[in-house]
Amino acid sequence: MIMKVNVQTPNFAAKDALILFIEKRLSKLEQFYSKIIFADVFLKVQKTSEKQNKTVEILLSIPGGDLIVKKEAKTFEEGTDECVQSLERQLKKRKQKQRAFL
């Protein structure tokens, strides 16, 4: 089952390359947890003078409760990578907990 990825970019248009990058990174999560239903990705640009003004928020819908991560970075790619690493850890933990109950 291929998860559906919804990328939302209020106030700007994301390039196709960025959306493909996000979908590719998120698809790797299915190696760790096969029951992912969908991913909602929110990309925001903060109006600040700081370099780390890109926010990536990912809501991962899985049975038994959603996982949400939010990271700020210089680029959306960097933020996406950080979010995916965090989600990977959470999915591995969840899988271990499920195994413990079996």
What is the token pair recorded at 38?
């969908």
Residue 1 has pLDDT above 60, yes or no: no
CB 6 within 8 A of CB 36: no
Q: CA-CA distance, 66 to 85, in Å (whole number)?
A: 16
What does pTM read for this prediction?
0.91
Q: Count the neighbouring beta carbons within 10 Å of the beta carbon of residue 79.
A: 25
The token duo for 67 is 């996982």
pLDDT reading at 52 higher than 90:
no
Q: What is the CATH number of domain 4-101?
A: 3.30.160.100
pLDDT, position 49: 81
Q: What are phi and psi of 22, to 5 degrees?
A: -65, -45
